[in-house]
Amino acid sequence: MGFSISGSAAIIFVGMFIGFGILYGAVSDGYERVSDAQEARTDDALETENTAINVTSAEYVGTTDRLTVLVENTGATAVGLNATDFLIENEYVTDWRAAATVAGQDDTRLWLPGEQLNITVRTGEVPARVTVVTGNGVARTEEVN
């Protein structure tokens, strides 16, 4: 009788030890994921805070049906052109990157602070406004001259 009680207690103790080990692993992983997500959210918020753009010019030339938009990166964050969107009259334009230049170069896809993005597209209608949106959601709208 003494051995069966001791054996049962040992089995229960080992089971509890294994159970607490599994529980600790799950809680630890969950806490780590939450901490990583909070850190990523903080980094994204900082990047958004440090991103600023300014549409310096938006001109339409009717004789050539060309719209030229000049946008300056006035923030402290580099902006990727692949993550930047361009809208004419709230209509998404898909083929603008092919003719876009950054600081006079057409072979770059990175728009650094202080550099100017030049977007030139053909459009048959005279637009009233254009919008440029960065990858992290910073947007600027300008009326077309």
The CA distance from 139 to 133, in Å, is 4
CA angle, corner 107, sides to 140 and 78, nearest 5?
A: 40
CA 38 to chain CA mean position, Å = 16
Question: What pLDDT, on the 0 to 100 scale, is given for residue 2?
Answer: 59
Model confidence over 34-74: pLDDT tens digits? Answer: 999 999 999 999 998 999 999 999 999 988 899 999 999 99
Question: What pLDDT, on the 0 to 100 scale, is given for residue 6?
Answer: 80
The one-letter amino acid at 16: M
Encoding tokens for residue 80?
A: 């990727």
Q: Are 86 and 142 in contact (CB under 8 A)?
A: no
How many alpha carbons fall within 13 Å on the CB side of residue 14?
6
Model confidence over 125-143: pLDDT tens digits? Answer: 889 999 999 999 999 999 9
DSSP bridge pairs for 55: 71
Rounded percentage of the chain residues whose pLDDT exceeds 90:
67
What is the rounded average pLDDT for all residues in the chain?
91
Encoding tokens for residue 48?
A: 């958004």
Comparing 34 with 9, which gets the higher pLDDT? 34
Is 120's pLDDT higher than 60? yes
Neighbours of 16 (CB within 10 A): 10
Rounded percentage of the chain residues whose pLDDT exceeds 70:
98
Within the chain, how many helices (H) and strands (E) appear?
1, 10
- pTM to 2 decimal places: 0.76
Contacts with 41 (C-beta within 8 Å, 6 or more apart), sequence order:
none
Q: What is the gyration radius of the CA atoms in the chain, in angstroms? A: 28
